Structure 1
């Protein structure tokens, strides 16, 4: 038996978003697992941070498992990977001696994790937002996922933008902050309403998203929070409707903003929803296993 035949088979799935990145390394033969997490890894929000985070994370897990890069098939599912040039640049920056490396969108890995690779529609609500569907014919469809600058409606970051715009309008109209939400935000970002505009010009998507929990906390006692929540729900329902389209698929809501948003959705939308069977990291591992099996057998294995 030669050295190549002695190599073990590992898969490594990475789920990278605008707030955090989590990775799981699995020995296919023994089913041993190693898992670790780090900060954000959005290719469009901060490419260099994303690359450093992912490189450090996968090397950390490789050392923990005491395995070789040549034994590992890696699938990255990253926010912003819909930007093809950035995704290709990222892939080129990963050491070449891994057995196989693929870079997919975070929407794709969520899609395959949510229903174990079976047909489903998925809407992810986190720092960013994106919709995706896997049809009965095996076709993948993505809606949105264009990033903070031109998309991400229904996300935590865009809710934060709505908050700040509303507060600036309040300051302009009244010469200060009147609403409870505005007072809480001003206190959070610096304690002075004059700090709002300077803060907004340097804030990152994660900073805007950090304001979103205040809307859910205050919607019952603050008119501004309630109006922003109504606008947020409108964007989320539009994304769900566009993603599902005429496919008659059940819908899974994923992401940190999905749970607080769900109670405010219409009855018709709620009736479309089902509980997920897995998460985005599960989907990355599913796709990594499928890729590893394809390399071993020469054809793709689904549903295993």
Structure 2
């Protein structure tokens, strides 16, 4: 996955991993040799297609700057693993707004994550960040998905899912339904609220990214009874996602994303024994998409 020897593409490859909290880019030459990495703002499609392309463009420009190269979309084959592409309208709008790139491949960030995590071999991943989704890859290369229905009804065990439930504790404290404690005071600090009315203002203005900012506070107070109960529920949700894709329990499993490390000791023991460190990240999987897109376009033109 780290090298590309086919000489039919002579531009640059860009692997893009885009979610609700940020964008990560790998820039490589036509052989797949990595030249630079960069990050940018959120590019999950739920936050808007214009914002997604802006974040992607900014991050790509930073990668080219880091490699001391001139940035021109026309020289680039892009592989994008993005949150939200399962919404057909969002995907169509994203493709319709694409800059004049040499080639473009777009898949779910779940697909690029499982592709990178297991090096194209069979396996299961649960991607845990602002949102969440699980995916498996079988020996035939077929990808199956579980979860990932989006905030607020889905994305179990994600940062946004945790934050949405954590703030309920704060609401109860502000009403006097529960006594104030260190966790509620920490949640107040994170939201910037001081009372009921100011919390309502925060709630009305918040999206999935804002709720996800409360997730670290849940892990910080994991010994609090309500936080512990919430994290235990999240662990069971992760286990259910894996079981849906691998009911026989025979494939390796990788937890991926920003919340993978804090969740690892909290998932049920039977699943924890099957966990393997991902071989590479979603941006690396997206780089493989870019390679395929560039190769396919060149061969189509010949």
Secondary structure at the aligned position of 1:44 is classed as helix
| Structure 2 unaligned regions, length at least 5 | 1-6
CA deviation string 1:241-264 (max 9, x = no partner): 223334721111001111111111
Give the whole-Å Cα distance in 1 for the aligned partners of 2:244 and 2:9: 46
The separation in 2 between residues aligned to 1:30 and 1:153, in whole angstroms, is 35
Cα distance change on mapping 1:172 and 1:249 into 2, 3 Å? same
Confirm whether residue 169 of structure 1 aligns to residue 167 of structure 2. no
SS in 2 for 1:224: helix
2:129·2:159 contact (CA, 8 Å) conserved in 1? Answer: yes
SS state of the match for residue 153, structure 2?
A: coil
TM-score, length basis structure 2: 0.88
Q: 1:46 to 1:179 in 2, by over 3 A?
A: farther
Output aligned runs, 1:1-304, within 5 Å: 8-29=10-31, 31=33, 33-61=35-63, 64-66=68-70, 68-96=72-100, 98-174=101-177, 177-194=179-196, 195-220=198-223, 222-246=224-248, 248-297=250-299
In 2, the alpha carbon distance for the partners of 1:279 and 1:151 equals 23
- Report the Cα distance in structure 1 between the residues aligned to 2:144 and 2:112, rounded to whole angstroms: 13
Q: Is the CA contact 1:244–1:251 (under 8 Å) kept in the aligned structure 2? A: no
CA spacing shift, 1:196–1:113, aligned 2, 3 Å: same
Does the 8 Å contact 1:177/1:193 carry over to 2? no
SS at match of 1:65: coil
Of 62-71 and 181-190, more deviation after overlay is shown by 62-71
Cα contact 1:119–1:133 (8 A) shared by 2: yes
Separation in structure 2 between the aligned mates of residue 242 and residue 224 of structure 1, nearest angstrom? 27
Q: Greater CA deviation, 60-69 or 141-150?
A: 60-69
Shift of 1:61: 4.2
Write the distance in 1 (CA, Å) between the matches of 2:117 and 2:212: 24
Query: TM-score, with normalisation over the residues of structure 1?
Result: 0.87
Name the CA distance, whole Å, in 2 between partners of 1:161 and 1:112.
30
Q: Secondary structure at the match of 1:118?
A: coil
Superposed displacement of residue 159, structure 1: 0.3
Q: Whole-Å Cα distance in 1 between the matches of residues 9 and 192 of structure 2?
A: 56
Between the aligned partners of 1:169 and 1:121, the Cα distance in structure 2 is 38
Q: Residue 180 of structure 2 aligns to a residue in which SS? A: coil
Distance 1:7 1:279, change over 3 A: closer
1:302 aligns with none
Q: 1:179 to 1:239 in 2, by over 3 A?
A: farther
How far off is 1:32 after superposition?
5.3
Q: Displacement, 1:67?
A: 6.0
Report the Cα offset of residue 226 of structure 1.
1.7
Unpaired runs of 5+ residues, structure 1, are: 299-304
